[in-house]
Amino acid sequence: MNKKPRVCYYGSYDWNEPHNSTHILGMRQAGIEVVECNLPAASKRDAANNYKGLWRTLTFGLAFLKNGISLCAKLFRLPELDAVIVGYPGFFDVPLAKFYTKRKRIPLIFNVHISLYETLVVDRGYVEAHSLQGKLLKWYDRFLFRLSDTVLTDTLAHAKYFAQLYNLPLEKFRRVFIGADPLFRPQQKRASRDCTVLFYGTFIPLQGIEYIVQAAHLLRNEKALRFEIIGRGQTKAEIIRLAQELNVTNITFIDWVSREELVDRIAQADICLGGQFGVTPKAELVIGYKCFQMIAMGKAVIVSDSPGNRELLQHEKNCVMCPAGNAEALAEMIRYLKNNEALRRRIAEESRRTFEEHCNLNRIGEEISRIAMSVTPETTADFTDNAAAARTAQASLNA
């Protein structure tokens, strides 16, 4: 079937999150008509801060619910659709979207990226697993996934994790790489005597920034080697203290910068650290936003040797890999690339080629189009009860 679907990208999502913007841009580039029904309620950081207590969680949820009712009313005024995709974070948008899609007999696709339980309990440790809030978060995640006809994840490893954690069929989940928006493209690098190692991102346990600081300390005697670490977040104060205790002098800590400045800093870096170097369970499952942006710009990247990263990247072909949680190994890989300019250049070229072949906007849009059309009423009214659709989804997961 050659028909391109008409979809609504729905919810209180943040358009600036790459998980949303690249998917919307990709679908449009692939010829899909995308109608946005969006009323932002909070940023990801606001959401994380407000989930820390049960009362704050409920209050925040009620604010999202009020927002969602207004959104749902807008949804019912739209012309005929082929599918509804709930953007990230859509934790309070899925139930009302399901009310619409069930009445219209069209599929509901949840672009999940993360789950509440995984993030707040497993990854960041804000909530105890056996507490009432922990149990409610896990129940609610499963409820949302069951309401959705299809759940989009960033990696197959993440899909398998969710399927096992929530006791759901793997066929419900489909992988779509995050990609990067067109701002991240190869740029001219200015001449410099220094070798610059760049990392940027939110300071959270998953990132393992302490291992970058320790690696910088181990490389303190390397001539003309300097580190830039950009960002802020949960663990930044601890990281700064660690750098001070180790008397690290080859790192510059920088607060968040504009996207335009970030692009320039990536362009001027010699080695980019794509993560995730932490030892949390989630670190094993994901490919970081930053990694997609770095390879989109054709940079030599170092990433952790994890199941998530291995879905796209290969050691000494389009990246260099090292074990997570190992400052010595990270330092050795940084030294290895610093002293091998030819290898850096070859990896940079291959990283850009990998991006174009597997996760540019057009590839992302085409994949979402196939997913949306595979679960329309023309195939099945109930995704989970249709064996043919399940086999198609499984084949895609294994591809």
CA–centroid distance for 26 within its chain: 15
Q: Rounded to an integer, what distance in angstroms lies between the CA atom of residue 154 and that of residue 174? A: 8
Q: Rounded to an integer, what distance in angstroms lies between the CA atom of residue 140 and that of residue 271? A: 41
Which sign, positive or negative, has the C-alpha torsion 352, 357, 361, 367?
A: negative
> In the chain, which ranges are continuous DSSP H helix?
18-29, 44-50, 54-76, 94-104, 116-117, 132-147, 156-165, 209-218, 236-245, 259-268, 289-296, 307-310, 327-338, 341-358, 361-374, 387-398
Q: Rounded to an integer, what distance in angstroms lies between the CA atom of residue 293 and that of residue 266? A: 9
Among candidate residues 324, 380, 336, the one with its CA nearest the CA of residue 208: 324
What's the confidence (pLDDT) of residue 124? Answer: 83
User: What are the chain's domains?
Assistant: 6-179+360-398 (3.40.50.2000), 195-358 (3.40.50.2000)
Q: How far apart are the first and last CA of the chain?
A: 21
For 2, half-sphere exposure in the C-beta direction (CA atoms, 13 angstrom radius) is: 0
Among candidate residues 384, 391, 180, 395, the one with its CA nearest the CA of residue 301: 180
> What pTM did the predictor assign?
0.86
What's the confidence (pLDDT) of residue 58? Answer: 66
Cis peptide before 89 (omega within 30 of 0): yes
pLDDT tens for each residue of the chain, 399 residues long: 466 779 999 998 988 888 899 999 999 999 999 999 998 765 444 544 544 555 666 666 677 677 778 888 899 999 999 999 999 988 989 999 999 999 999 999 999 988 999 988 988 888 999 999 999 999 999 999 999 999 999 999 999 999 999 999 999 999 999 999 999 999 999 988 899 999 999 999 999 999 999 999 999 999 999 999 999 998 999 999 999 999 999 999 999 999 999 999 999 999 999 999 999 999 999 999 999 999 999 999 999 999 999 999 999 999 999 999 999 999 999 999 999 999 999 999 999 999 999 999 999 999 999 998 887 543 333 333 333 333 443 444 444
Q: Rounded to an integer, what distance in angstroms lies between the CA atom of residue 289 and that of residue 330? A: 20
The owner of tokens 């990694």 is 291
H or E, element range at 149: none
Q: Rounded to an integer, what distance in angstroms lies between the CA atom of residue 272 and that of residue 115? A: 28
Quickly count: other Cβ atoms within 10 Å of residue 399's Cβ: 7
